Amino acid sequence: PRPIEDLVAALEQTADARGKVTVKGAVVHWFKMDLRCNDNRALALASEKAKEAGVPLICMYIVSPQDYEAHLRSPVRVDFMLRTLQVLQEDLAKLDIPLYVEMVEKRKKVPDRILELMEEWGASHLFANMEYEVDELRREAHMVHDLSENGKAFEVVHDTCVVPPGRLHSGSGNQYAVYSPWFRSWVAHIHENLDLLELYEPPGKNPEDARKKFKKLFDCKIPDAPKNKQLSQEEKKRFRALWPPGEHAATDRLAKFCEEKIGKYKEKRNIPSDDGTSSLSVHLSSGTISARTCVRTARNRNKTKKLDGGIEGIQTWISEVAWRDFYKHVLVHWPFVCMNKPFKPEYSNISWSYDEDHFQRWCEGRTGFPIVDAAMRQLNHVGYMHNRCRMIVASFLSKDLLIDWRKGERYFMEHLVDGDFASNNGGWGFSASVGVDPQPYFRIFNPLLQSEKFDPEGEYIRKWVPELKDLDDKEIHDPYGRGAKDKVKKTGYPEQIVEHKEVRDRALSAYKEGIESG
Ligand code: FAD
């Protein structure tokens, strides 16, 4: 069975026992990747349960540095989450709700520690939103049983996707493996079930005695990042100015985007020098805003009050937010993508090049392909990369350099502020032609054409590759090939490390041979 089926079975098997647990002591909400008070389903359910019984709500964030390791969380992402916890703690404190935060040394000790804390607090009920990675689903399935055996109730609910995984089926009753028909079905399903866009209210104030009863929890400090995830002083200054934490920052960003940019999103979304996208990925991936709120807010601005039709920018943006749901559905249905395996098994036998020098040059933005180098330098400097450029550099690594896409997937996770397993794995699979994209492998991006089309005046390149800032609009896309050798050589900007046409043929042969030998 898929890991989600184990969790669903655990919830069903314990349903009776959980229903009989009387609420006492306190109700606990366990924050994971849902670091917000508003529109948080499990938190709203926990708050309701506590309120009905007149007991306090306690919130906790229990994690192990090994979780950060296993999920390849980048230092900038860990820093963002810890700063967000600070905001969350302050917001909850205003409601007399404590947020207890603890780093447990070993990952496997987290469930025992949670049970121990619940015993200590005299709490009977635990709530959490579901996470769809294999390890998390398995852990939660065990915890549902363990807590039940200990006379406690653990409720794990869907929240992160607008449409919970498992709801959409193709005509033949199977899970969709292609985005377009899946998206049509996603839209229709929401139109028929508008409660999916319902807003979950933030928790209410705790009873007056909560502060006295759980005084120690209110004194809890947010820990520092584990040693290997710490930022230098310079990085803190740089990243923190760019990525304000917490749900208020997220809500403000959504409001500003909807006010100023969403109408033109369709035209602008592919231009990396243009600030035409929402930059909400850091918030969606940390749960400082819900996908539901994003879709509801955008839809409400559309006169048709529909997800499709009406203003094109709104429709297109909603369809992009839907990609996030899509990749999570894929992960739940084909969990082997979590295990380093390509979605299309016939692509398992490609002979990758593993050229370490080429890989390093790609990582550092020194390939001699200005658009690729600009994008990689953007990633290294700000922890973010424009979507068009993510596709260009991923195609370049896996096709032009013929380097195993999993090395690029990992590098992204280790550097992105918005690193999310499902979206990143999906994006890499798509770009390397080993994922859910129905297009065959011979669709290979030409970096020069991509550069000319999406950065015609070289504005993005000039920003991130200052060595090239004085070149004209034509030269800038291919300085050595377009007669700017003398100007550019003295800046130290490298020549192209491969010749696109040549390596394109190499990629075509390697993919073909890989498939045939599979
Ligand atoms: P907007 O254009 O404003 O879109 C709004 C939201 O929709 C995004 O914040 C995001 O949550 C979602 N979204 C948009 N496009 C996609 C997409 N193609 N796939 C999944 N969700 C999407 N996104 C991540 O959040 N984390 C990742 O680790 C990640 N890795 C990627 C790796 C590759 C190789 C590729 C091609 C794409 C990846 N994406 C990832 C998707 C996409 O590039 C980013 O979500 C987007 O660039 C974020 O910018 P934005 O918030 O301004 O997006």
pLDDT, residue 306, reads: 87
Residue 438, pLDDT above cutoff 80: no
pLDDT, residue 46, reads: 98
Tokens linked to 133:
């990675």
pLDDT, residue 9, reads: 97
Per DSSP, what are the bridge partners of residue 27? 57, 125
pLDDT, residue 11, reads: 98
Residue 406, pLDDT above cutoff 80: yes
Query: Which atom of ligand 1 lies at the shortest distance from residue 269's CA?
Result: 2
Query: Which atom of ligand 1 lies at the shortest distance from residue 281's CA?
Result: 9
Q: How far is the CA of 160 from the centre of ligand 1 (A)?
A: 15
Residue whose pair of structure tokens reads 């007669």 in the numeric block: 483
Q: Whose CA is nearest to atom 30 of ligand 1?
A: 424
pLDDT, residue 439, reads: 80
Query: Which atom of ligand 1 lies at the shortest distance from residue 416's CA?
Result: 28
ipTM: 0.99
Q: Whose CA is nearest to atom 31 of ligand 1?
A: 424
Of 73, 281, 430, which is best to mutate to test ligand 1, by the most ligand atoms within 8 angstroms of its C-beta? Answer: 281
Give the rounded percent of residues in the chain with a pLDDT score beyond 90.
93
Residue 518, pLDDT above cutoff 80: no
Q: Whose CA is nearest to atom 14 of ligand 1?
A: 320
Tokens linked to 90:
């302050």
Tokens linked to 166:
């498992």
Residue 190, pLDDT above cutoff 90: yes
Residue 1, pLDDT above cutoff 80: no
pLDDT, residue 243, reads: 98
Give the pLDDT confidence of 489-508 residue by residue, as tens digits.
999 999 999 999 999 999 99
Give the pLDDT confidence of 235-247 residue by residue, as tens digits.
999 999 999 999 9
Residue 28, pLDDT above cutoff 80: yes
Residue whose pair of structure tokens reads 């129905």 in the numeric block: 438
Lowest mean per-residue pLDDT among 7-11, 171-175, 316-320:
171-175
- Show the ligand 1 pocket: residues with CB < 6 angstroms: 269, 277-281, 284-285, 320-321, 323-324, 327, 387, 390-391, 394, 412, 416, 418-420, 423-424, 426-428, 431
pLDDT, residue 309, reads: 83
Q: How far is the CA of 228 from the centre of ligand 1 (A)?
A: 26
Give the residue numbers marked as catalytic.
320, 323, 352, 387, 405, 428
Q: Whose CA is nearest to atom 49 of ligand 1?
A: 279
pLDDT, residue 2, reads: 92
DSSP state of 467: G
Cα four-point dihedral sign 146, 290, 384, 422: positive
Q: How confident is the model at residue 81 (pLDDT cuts 50, 70, 90)?
A: very high
Give the rounded percent of residues in the chain with a pLDDT score beyond 70.
100
Indicate the residue type of 262: I
Phi, psi of 170, deg, nearest 5: -75, 175
Q: Whose CA is nearest to atom 10 of ligand 1?
A: 281
Give the pLDDT confidence of 264-294 residue by residue, as tens digits.
999 999 999 999 999 999 999 999 999 999 9
Tokens linked to 19:
């229903």
pLDDT, residue 483, reads: 92
Give the pLDDT confidence of 455-491 residue by residue, as tens digits.
999 999 999 999 999 999 999 999 999 999 999 999 9
Q: How far is the CA of 515 from the centre of ligand 1 (A)?
A: 29
Of 160, 387, 398, which is best to mutate to test ligand 1, by the most ligand atoms within 8 angstroms of its C-beta? Answer: 387
The torsion defined by the Cα of 328, 330, 336 and 341, in degrees rounded to 10, comes to -100
pLDDT, residue 206, reads: 98
Distance CA 47, CA 127 (A): 10
The contacts of residue 359 (CB under 8 Å, 6+ apart) are 397, 401, 403, 407
pTM of the model: 0.97
User: Where is 30: in which H helix or E strand?
Assistant: strand 27-30
Distance CA 433, CA 440 (A): 7
C-beta neighbour count of 492 within 10 angstroms: 8
Q: Whose CA is nearest to atom 23 of ligand 1?
A: 423
The torsion defined by the Cα of 38, 42, 47 and 50, in degrees rounded to 10, comes to -170
Give the pLDDT confidence of 287-310 residue by residue, as tens digits.
999 999 999 999 999 988 889 888
The contacts of residue 469 (CB under 8 Å, 6+ apart) are 462
pLDDT, residue 339, reads: 84
pLDDT, residue 442, reads: 84
pLDDT, residue 437, reads: 77
Tokens linked to 211:
């502060």
Mean pLDDT of 55-84: 96
Residue 314, pLDDT above cutoff 80: yes
pLDDT, residue 345, reads: 87
Q: How far is the CA of 387 from the centre of ligand 1 (A)?
A: 6
Query: Which atom of ligand 1 lies at the shortest distance from residue 285's CA?
Result: 25
Q: Please tell me whether residue 144 adopts helix, strand or coil conformation.
A: helix
Q: How far is the CA of 229 from the centre of ligand 1 (A)?
A: 23
Q: How far is the CA of 333 from the centre of ligand 1 (A)?
A: 20
Q: How far is the CA of 281 from the centre of ligand 1 (A)?
A: 6
Q: Report H helices in 302-365.
A: 312-333, 356-364
pLDDT, residue 50, reads: 98
Residue 102, pLDDT above cutoff 90: yes
Q: Whose CA is nearest to atom 42 of ligand 1?
A: 387
pLDDT, residue 329, reads: 97
Q: Please tell me whether residue 154 adopts helix, strand or coil conformation.
A: strand
Distance CA 306, CA 34 (A): 26
Give the pLDDT confidence of 172-186 residue by residue, as tens digits.
889 999 999 999 999
Q: What is the mean pLDDT of the chain?
A: 96
Residue 373, pLDDT above cutoff 90: yes
Which carries the bigger pLDDT value, residue 317 or residue 518? 317
